[in-house]
A and B are shown apart, each in its own frame.
Chain A
Amino acid sequence: MKKLLFTIMGGVIAYSSTYAQTLDRSIWPKAGPAPTVHFAQPKIVNLPNGITLLIVEDHTVPEVRMSFSIDRGVIKEGDKAGVLSLMGEMLNEGTQKHSKAEFDEAVEQMGSSVNLSSGGGNFLALKKYTEATFQYFVEALKEPAFAQSSFDKVQKQALTALKSNEKSAAAVSSKAVNALNYGKNTALGEFETPETVGNITLADVKDYYKQYITPSRSYVVISGDISNAEAEKMVKKYMGDWTGTKLTLPVITPVSNPVKTEVDLVNLPNVVQSKIVVSNLVNMKLSNPDYFSATIANQILGGGSESRLFKDLREKKAYTYGSYSSIGTSREQSLFKATAEVRNEKTDSAVYAIQRNIEALRKTLPTNEELDGAKAIYSGSFAIGMENPTLGANLAMNILKYDLPKDFYNKFLTNIDAVTPQQVQGAAQKYFNYDQSRIIVTGKAEEYMPGLKKMGYTVKTFDTNIDPVDLSAANAVNTNVNASAVVAEYINKIGGESAAKGLNSFIANGEVSIQGMTLQFEQKAMAPNKEYMSMSMGGNAVMKQVFNGTTGYAMQMGQKKEMSKDEVAKSASNKYLIPQLSYTSAGYTLKALADETLDGDNCHKIEVTLPSGDKTVEYYSIKTGLLLKDVTTTKQGDMSVETSKIYTNYQKVGDVLLPFGLKLVITVPQGSQEIPITIKDYKVNSGVSASDFD
Chain B
Amino acid sequence: MNFRRNSLGLVLGSILLTTSATAQKVDFTEYNLSNGLHVILHQNKKAPDVAVSVMYHVGSKNEVKGRTGFAHFFEHLLFEGTKNIKRGEFMKIVSNNGGENNANTTQDRTFYYEVFPINKEELGLWMESERMLHPVINEVGVNTQREVVKEEKRLRYDNSPYGQLLVKIFADLYTNFPYNWTTIGSMDDLNAAKLSEFQNFFKKFYVPNNAVLSISGDINIDQTKQWVAKYFETIPKGAPITQPVATDVPITHQIVDTAYDPNIQIPALVTAYRVPGRNTKDEVVMDLLSSLLSGGKSGRLNKLMVDEKQEALEVTSFNYTLESFGNYINFALPNGNVSLDTLLHDMDAQIKLLQTDLIGEKEYEKLINNAEVGFLNSNSSNLQIAENLADGYTFYNKNTNNVNEQLQKIRSVTREDIRAAAQKYLNPDNRVVLYYLPKAK
Same complex origin of A and B: yes
- Give chain A's interface residues, CB within 8 Å of chain B: 9, 12-13, 16-17, 19-20, 23, 25-26, 28-38, 59-63, 104-105, 108-112, 124, 126-129, 225, 305-306, 373, 376-387, 389, 413, 517, 537-542, 555, 557-560
- A407 to chain B: closest CB distance in Å? 15
- In the complex, the answer to whether A387 meets B123 with C-beta atoms within 8 Å is no
Tell whether A413 pairs with B365 under 8 Å between CB atoms, given A61-B380, A104-B297, A376-B98.
no
Question: Do A108 and B83 touch across chains, with their CB atoms under 8 A apart?
Answer: no
B-side contacts of A383, CB under 8 Å: 47-49, 98, 117-118
> Which residue of A is nearest B233, CB measured?
A20
Taking CB atoms and an 8 Å cut-off, the chain B residues in 32-46 that contact chain A are 45-46
Q: Tell me whether B15 is interfacial, beta carbon within 8 Å.
A: no
B401 within 8 A of A: no
Give B129-157 as 1s and 0s: 1 = Cβ < 8 Å from A's Cβ atoms: 01001000000000000000000000000
B380 in contact with A111 (CB, 8 Å): no
Q: Would you call B48 and A413 a contact (CB within 8 A)? A: yes
Q: Complex: how many Å from CA A98 to CA B293?
A: 26
Q: A35-B48, A376-B97 are in contact. Are A23 and B230 (CB under 8 A)?
A: yes
Asked if A560 meets B117 with Cβ closer than 8 Å, knowing A20-B229, A109-B366, A389-B380, the reply is: no
Residues of chain A contacted by B313 (CB below 8 angstroms): 517
* A-binding residues in B (CB < 8 A): 20, 23-24, 45-49, 83-84, 93, 95-100, 115-123, 125-126, 130, 133, 161, 218, 220, 222-223, 226-227, 229-231, 233-234, 261-267, 296-298, 313, 334-338, 362, 365-366, 369-370, 372-373, 376, 379-382, 438-439, 441
Within 8 Å by CB of B381, from A23, A110, A387, A538, lies A387
A–B complex contacts, Cβ < 8 Å, 6 sampled: A13-B226, A25-B83, A32-B118, A376-B117, A386-B46, A537-B265
- Cα–Cα, bound, A31→B123 (Å): 7
Do A380 and B218 touch (CB < 8 A)? no
A85–B146 Cα distance when bound, in Å, is: 51
Q: Are B130 and A25 in contact (CB under 8 A)?
A: yes
Q: Looking at the complex, which one of A36, A105, A558 makes contact with B263 (CB distance below 8 Å)?
A: A558
Knowing A34-B117, A62-B24, A126-B372, the reply to whether A387 touches B380 (Cβ < 8 A) is yes
Q: Which residues of B contact A378 (CB under 8 A)?
A: 98
In the docked arrangement, what's the CA distance between A109 and B185, Å?
42
Q: Which of B97, B118, B227, B338 contacts A538 (CB 8 A)?
A: B338
Does A559 contact B230, Cβ atoms closer than 8 Å?
Answer: no
Chain A residue contacts of B133, Cβ below 8 A = 25
State the majority secondary structure of interface residues on A.
mixed
Contact A558 B119 (CB under 8 A): no
Which listed residue (B98, B234, B379) contacts A23, Cβ 8 A? B234
Q: How far is the CA of A25 from the CA of B233 in the complex (A)?
A: 13
Q: Name the B residues within 8 Å of A387 (CB-CB).
A: 46-47, 49, 380-382
With A and B bound together, what is the CA distance between A555 and B262 in angstroms?
11
What total of A-B pairs shows CB separation below 8 Å?
Answer: 190
Does the CB pair B97–A31 fall under 8 Å? yes
- Do B46 and A384 touch across chains, with their CB atoms under 8 A apart? no
The answer to whether A60 touches B46, judged by C-beta atoms less than 8 angstroms apart, is: yes
Q: Which 3 A-B pairs have the closest CB atoms?
A: A380-B98, A538-B337, A111-B369
Q: How far is the CA of A59 from the CA of B26 in the complex (A)?
A: 12
Cβ–Cβ contact A376 & B96, under 8 A: yes
Residue A61 contacts which of B47, B125, B264, B379 (CB distance < 8 angstroms)?
A: B379
List B contacts of A557 (CB < 8 A): 161, 263-265
5 further contact pairs, Cβ within 8 A, besides A62-B23, A386-B49:
A109-B369, A111-B373, A383-B48, A383-B118, A541-B265
Shortest Cβ distance from residue A411 to the other chain B in the assembled complex, whole angstroms = 13
Contact (Cβ within 8 A) A35 B98: no
Partner of A384 from the list B47, B229, B365, B439 (CB cut-off 8 Å) is B47
Closest to A34 in B: B119
Residues of B within 8 A of A517 (CB): 313, 335
A217 CB to nearest B CB, Å = 30
**Most B CB atoms within 10 A — which of A20, A38, A127, A384?**
A384
Residues on the A chain within 8 Å of B220, using CB:
9
| Cα distance A63–B233 in the bound complex, in angstroms | 40
| Inter-chain contact A111/B370, CB cutoff 8 Å | yes
Report the Cα distance A399→B365, complex, angstroms: 40
Q: Is the CB of A26 within 8 A of B49?
A: no
> Roughly how many angstroms separate A108 CA and B130 CA in the complex, as a whole number?
47
**Which residues of chain A come closer than 8 Å to B366, judged between CB atoms?**
108-109, 111
Contact A61 B117 (CB under 8 A): no
Given A109-B362, A383-B49, A539-B337, A28:B98 Cβ within 8 A: no
Residues of B within 8 A of A12 (CB): 222-223, 226
Contacts A383-B47, A386-B48, A538-B334 given: A31-B369 contact, CB under 8 Å?
no
Q: Is the CB of B84 within 8 A of A538?
A: no
Who on chain A is nearest to B223 by CB? A12
A59 touches B23 (CB 8 A): yes
Across-interface contacts of B227 in A (CB, < 8 A): 16, 29
Q: Point out the residues of chain B lying under 8 angstroms from A129, CB to CB.
A: 369
Q: How far is the CA of A375 from the CA of B286 in the complex (A)?
A: 48
For B407, the closest partner residue in chain A by CB is A62
Q: Chain A's nearest CB lies how many Å from the CB of B20? A: 5
> Do residues B336 and A31 form an inter-chain contact, with CB atoms below 8 A?
no
Q: In the bound complex, how far is the Cα of B336 from the Cα of A62, in angstroms?
A: 45
Contacts of A111 in B (CB 8 A): 366, 369-370, 372-373
Q: How far is the CA of A531 from the CA of B296 in the complex (A)?
A: 44
B47:A558 contact, CB within 8 angstroms = no
